[in-house]
Amino acid sequence: MPANSTPPATKKKGRRARLVVIVLVLALVAGVGYGAYWGVSTVRASLPQTTGTITMPGLDGRVEVKRDSYGVPQIYANTDRDLFRAQGYVQAQDRFWEMDVRRHMTSGRLSEMFGKGQVETDEFLRTLGWRQVAQEEYDSKLSDETKKNLQSYADGVNDYLEGRDGKDISVEYAALKFTNDYKPAKWTPVDSVAWLKAMAWDLRSNMQDEIDRSLLTSRMDEKQIEDLYPSYPYDRNKPIVSEGAVDPLAEEYDPKAEPGDVSANGTGTGTGTGTGTGTGTGTGIDTGTGTGAGGGAVTDGLESQLDSLSATLDEIPALLGPSGSGIGSNSWVVSGQYTTTGSPLLANDPHLAPQLPSVWYQMGLHCRSSTKDCQYDVAGYTFAGMPGVIIGHNKDIAWGMTNLGADVTDLYLEKVNGDTYQYGNEQKKFTTRQETIKIAGAKSQTITVRSTEHGPVVSDRDAELRRVGDKAPVNNAAPDRGEGYAVSLQWTALEPGKSMDAVFQLNKAKNFAEFRRAAQSFEVPSQNLIYADAKGNIGYQAPGRIPIRAKGDGSVPAPGWDPSYRWEDYIPFDELPYEENPKRGYIVTANQAVIDKDDYPYALTEDWGYGARSERINDLIKSKIKDGGKISTDDMRTMQTDNRSEIATQLMPYLLKIDVADPAIREAQKLLEGWDYTQEPDSAAAAYFNAVWRNVLKLAFGNKLPKEMRVEGECLSVRPADSTGPADDLAELVRECGRRSEDSAQPDGGDRWFEITRKILKDEDNEWWQSPKTRTEKATDTRDELLLRALTDARWELTAKLGKDVSTWSWGRLHQLNLENQTLGTEGPGIVKTLLNRGPWNLGGGEAAVNATGWNAASGYDVMWVPSMRMVVNVGDWDKSRWINLTGASGHAYSPNYTDQTEKWAKGELIDWSFSSRAVEESTGDTLTLAP
C-alpha cells in the first residue's frame, strides 16, 4: 500500500519527499519574544470546536461527532448525505492545511501558494495532468452515488471554511500571509478524486528501476546487471497465491485449479539489456526491432538525460514517501481454525514515509439505522481530503491493503520531427494543450503540454531532457536520431477510471462476492486486498488495471516509433489471481510475488519485492500454529513488531569467522557473538551489524555504480567508464560525485540487495568482492578481505558517531525517527520548526524487517519509512480490535492530539478501537452536535 519523508540530514535529503519549502519572512519572528507569543496564540486560536452545537444549514438532521481521548471522531447520522458532509467538516477541522496543500500539489498549483520556487514542479505535474484525468473520471466514469457522496463531503469542507480567515483555520495560513495574500478556495469533488492520482504516483512501481537498468549499462556488462537484478526466489520465498490457475476455457481464474506450466501471454522478448551487434562496446538497450542493441553501452548523452529524468522524479513531491526495494507494507489474515477467538484475525501495517501529521486519519462513519438513505457502518483509516474509509472494517467484513507492485508505467523514446513524431510508418501530430501557471508574487507562465500515442512528453519539462536520446544506443533499424529522441510516459493512472467507486463499494460490502465486485473497480493503484468476514471466511484479491504488452517487458525504455511495443490490452479482472479460504488457513501479503510466473499466463512485473518480510511472517505463523497452537490478537501485534534482520542470518556466520588482528576491531566484532539477530533500540550488536552491512554494500556494489545512482555529495576517485588502464593505476582515476537524492540512491539495502548478496556469499572469489585500493586502503580480491575491510570501516564509522566505548553503542541512537511538518517544518526560522516538529525517537526494527523502520544504506541510518499505522482486527468481535496511528488525529501543533499516539507506536503498542455504539459511548470524551 500505500509509500513523505523529510529525514533530518543534508539539504538534498528531503527534496523528493517534502511537499514544499517555505522560507518565512523575518517579520514572523521579529521582536523580543513576539515570535513565540504569535505562534502560541495563533495556533491555539485555530483549534477546532469539539463540544456544544454548531449550526450547519443543509443537513437533513442532527449529526453527532463523538471524539475519544485521542481525538478520534465517530460520526453518527441518519442519511449518507449527512454522514459524508460531517466527515468533510470534521476532517477540515483537524487537517485542512494538509488537505489544501495536497490539492494544490495534485493539480500542479503549488506556485499559487508558495511562489516561483515551485514552478518547475507545477510544470511537471501539469504535464502529467492528474487534475485533468480526475475531472474526466468525475464527469464520465464515476457512479451517481459516488458523485453524491463526493459532493456531500465537499459541502461539509466548505461549511467549515465559510466565514473563516486563514488564521482561524491553521497557523500555517497565518505564517503564509506574511509572504502571500492567499485565501483558501472552496473544496470541490474533483479535489478528492485527484488524491488517488498522487497515491498512484507514489505506488507506480518500477519506473526508477527502468531508468537505473539503463544507467547501469554505462559501467557494467550484461552479466553484472543481471547480478544486480536477480530473479525472484520462488523456491524459497513463497508467493501470495499458491493454489489455483487460470482456466483457459472459461477464461477465469479458478482458485481450485491445479497450477501448471503456462505460456506467457503478451510478455514479449523486446526491451532489455543485451549484447549489441552494432558499433560500440559492452551492452546496450534493445530499442530496435532487429537482433540486438547496436549502440553498445549507454553513451554520455543518454546517461545524462536518464540522470536528468531521475532527478526530475526526485523533485516531485511524494505524498506517501520514497519508493525502493525495501519499501512496502504487511498484511495477513489467519482463519479462525488457528486463532484463540475461533474467528479470523486480520493485521495490516502500510510502510510509508514518516510525516506530521500522519497520512492516515482514524474515523468511524455510522448510520444510526440501516436504510436505503443511510447505508454505512464502517470504521478505519481514512485520507484527509477523501470521503469514505480506505482500510478498516464494517459490521460484516474487514479488509487490508499492500502495494501489489505491478508494472503499470513505461517510458518511450520518441522520434520527433517538428510538430510530429514517428509511429510506425506515419508521422503523427502531437496532441497539445496549454497550461497557465499562476505564481504568487510574479507573472503567470504558460506552458504547452505535448502528448503522443503513449502519453505526455515528460522530457519537455527539462532543458536536458529535451535532448534525451541524442546518442541513444539503438540499432540501424531505428529512425535517424536527428536532434535526439523525446521521452513520453504511458501510465495506467493517466486514463480515467473508477477507483473512487471502489472505496464506497468496499465500505458497504457484506461478503466475499461483494468484496470482489468492489475490487473490480479498484483499478489504480493496484493493491493486494485481503479479506475476512464475521462468518469465518478469509480471502485475497489482486485487482488493478495491469497492461498486456505486445512486445517487451517494461524493464527499460522502449522504442516509441515501433508499434509492436504497444500496450495491447489489460489483464481481464476475471483472470486476476484470488483466493478464498485456502487450505493452509492463512494468507500473507508483504509485496512479494503474487503468483509463480510459471503458473500464470500474464506478466505482472519483473520487479517484485524479494519476499524477506513475507517469508518471515509465514514462518512466524507456521511456528505458532504447529502442534495445534493458536494465534491471539496479541500474537498478531507481536508479529508486527518483529525486529529480526534476515540479512544478518545470512551474513553473520561469515563475519564471525573473519580473523581480526586489530584489538579495536576485534572488540566490535565480539558484539556479534551470541546476537540473536533482533534489532532492538538498545542493541549495540544491531548497531554494529547494520554499519558493517552498509559498508559491505558500499565496497562490493555502491562504489562501482555510476554517479547517477550514488548519493549526492559523496565523491569517489574512479576509473573513467571508457578507461583501459590497469585497475591499480591511481593516476587513471577521476573524481566523480554522486547525483541521486538520499532517499532513492543505491544500494539502498532493501531485500533485493539481500538476494544479490546471498547469491554470492559462498563464492569467495566472486568478482563483486573485488574492491580497488585507495590512497589509504589496500585492494580486496576475496570475500573475506572485503568483509574484514567492512568490519574495520564500520568500527571507525561508529566510533565517530557513537563514541569509542562499544558498550555505549545502541541501534536506536543511530536509527532515529524525526517527525517534521511537511511544509513550514522543513526549512525556515528555528522557532517555527520548534513549534511544528517533534522528535527524535530512537527506534528498533530495520530495513526489510517485519517492523519495517526503513533506512537507505547508501545515505545513512535515519528512519525514512515506517509502519505508518498498525491495526489488528478481531473479526466479528469488533470492539476487541486494536489500532494505532503514527502521530495523532490533529494537524494543529498545540492540540493534545498532535502526536499523542507516537510514543505508544514507537513501543509497538496498540490502543482500543471502539466500534459498537455502546463501546463508542464508553470511550467518548467530547461530543459535538451538528444541527440543521
* 3-class secondary-structure state, position 857: coil
CB atoms inside a 10 Å sphere around CB 849:
26
Q: Are 912 and 66 in contact (CB under 8 A)?
A: no
Q: Are 548 and 253 in contact (CB under 8 A)?
A: no
Question: Quick one: which of 711, 730, 710, 707 has its CA closest to 719?
Answer: 730
Q: Are 437 and 461 in contact (CB under 8 A)?
A: no
What is residue 64's DSSP assignment? E
pLDDT value of residue 335: 98
Q: What percent of the chain has pLDDT over 90?
A: 68
CA–CA separation, 919 vs 926, rounded Å? 14
CB atoms inside a 10 Å sphere around CB 777:
13
pLDDT value of residue 299: 47
Q: Tell me the pLDDT tens digit for each residue of 48-104.
A: 999 999 999 999 999 999 999 999 999 999 999 999 999 999 999 999 999 999 999
Give 774 or 91, the one with higher predicted confidence.
Answer: 91
- Chain CA centroid to CA 528, Å: 14
| Partners of residue 397 on adjacent β-strands | 533
Where residue 42 falls among pLDDT bands split at 50, 70, 90? low
CA–CA separation, 778 vs 787, rounded Å? 13
pLDDT value of residue 396: 98
| Partners of residue 351 on adjacent β-strands | 867
CA–CA separation, 69 vs 145, rounded Å? 34
CA–CA separation, 422 vs 481, rounded Å? 11
Which stretches of 731-868 are assigned E, i.e. beta strand?
734-737, 816-819, 838-842, 866-867
What is residue 479's DSSP assignment? P
Where residue 316 falls among pLDDT bands split at 50, 70, 90? low
Question: Quick one: which of 786, 768, 856 has its CA closest to 230?
Answer: 768
| Partners of residue 490 on adjacent β-strands | 410
Lowest mean pLDDT among 135-144, 160-169, 535-544: 160-169
Q: DSSP per residue over 428-441, as a string?
A: EEPEEEEEEEEETT
Instruction: Choose from 406-415, 716-725, 877-886 the range with maximum mean pLDDT.
Output: 877-886
Residue 152 predicted with pLDDT over 80:
yes
Q: Tell me the pLDDT tens digit for each residue of 332-391.
A: 999 999 999 999 999 999 998 898 999 999 999 999 999 999 999 999 999 999 999 999
Grid cell at residue 74: 465517530
Spell out the residues 6+ positions from residue 19 whose beta carbon is closer than 8 angstroms to its own.
4, 101, 102, 105, 110, 317, 319, 822, 823
Mean pLDDT of 562-582: 96
Question: Quick one: which of 538, 540, 545, 490 has its CA closest to 522?
Answer: 545
Long-range contacts from 876-879, C-beta under 8 angstroms, 24+ separation: 876/341, 876/343, 876/344, 876/534, 877/341, 877/343, 878/393, 878/395, 878/913, 878/915, 878/916, 879/912, 879/913, 879/914, 879/915, 879/916, 879/919
Mean pLDDT of 34-56: 75
Q: Tell me the pLDDT tens digit for each residue of 502-528.
A: 999 999 999 999 999 999 999 988 899
* Sequence-ordered alpha helix ranges (H) in 657-775: 663-669, 684-700, 751-760
Residue 16 predicted with pLDDT over 50:
no
Give 719 or 152, the one with higher predicted confidence.
Answer: 152
| Partners of residue 884 on adjacent β-strands | 870
Q: Are 301 and 574 in contact (CB under 8 A)?
A: no
Residue 281 predicted with pLDDT over 60:
no
Considering the chain, what is the average pLDDT of its residues?
Answer: 86
Grid cell at residue 415: 522520434
Calculated CA dihedral for residues 12, 16, 19, 24, nearest 10 degrees: 10
Lowest mean pLDDT among 639-648, 715-724, 779-788: 715-724
Q: Are 403 and 324 in contact (CB under 8 A)?
A: no
CA–CA separation, 80 vs 908, rounded Å? 36
* 3-class secondary-structure state, position 825: coil
pLDDT value of residue 297: 40
Q: Are 855 and 861 in contact (CB under 8 A)?
A: yes
Q: Are 857 and 847 in contact (CB under 8 A)?
A: yes
Q: Tell me the pLDDT tens digit for each residue of 891-918.
A: 998 899 999 999 999 999 999 999 999 9
Q: DSSP per residue over 145-167, as a string?
A: HHHHHHHHHHHHHHHHHTT--HH
Residue 721 predicted with pLDDT over 70:
no
Q: Is the dihedral of CA 688, 689, 692, 693 positive or negative?
A: negative
Q: Are 576 and 544 in contact (CB under 8 A)?
A: yes
Residue 284 predicted with pLDDT over 60:
no
Give 258 or 490, the one with higher predicted confidence.
Answer: 490
pLDDT value of residue 464: 43
Task: For residue 646, give the amino acid letter.
Answer: E
Grid cell 503498542 is found at 909
Where residue 40 falls among pLDDT bands split at 50, 70, 90? low
Task: For residue 908, give the amino acid letter.
Answer: G
| Partners of residue 612 on adjacent β-strands | none
Question: Quick one: which of 525, 507, 207 has its CA closest to 350?
Answer: 525
CA–CA separation, 204 vs 647, rounded Å? 27
Q: DSSP per residue over 264-331, as a string?
A: -BS--S-SSEEE-SSSSSSEEE--SSSSS-TT-SPPHHHHHHHHHHHHHHHHS--SS----TT--EEE
| Partners of residue 360 on adjacent β-strands | 383
Question: Quick one: which of 38, 157, 10, 183 has its CA closest to 832?
Answer: 38
CA–CA separation, 626 vs 519, rounded Å? 33
Residue 303 predicted with pLDDT over 60:
no
Lowest mean pLDDT among 174-188, 569-583, 833-847, 911-925: 174-188
Where residue 309 falls among pLDDT bands split at 50, 70, 90? low
Mean pLDDT of 796-813: 98
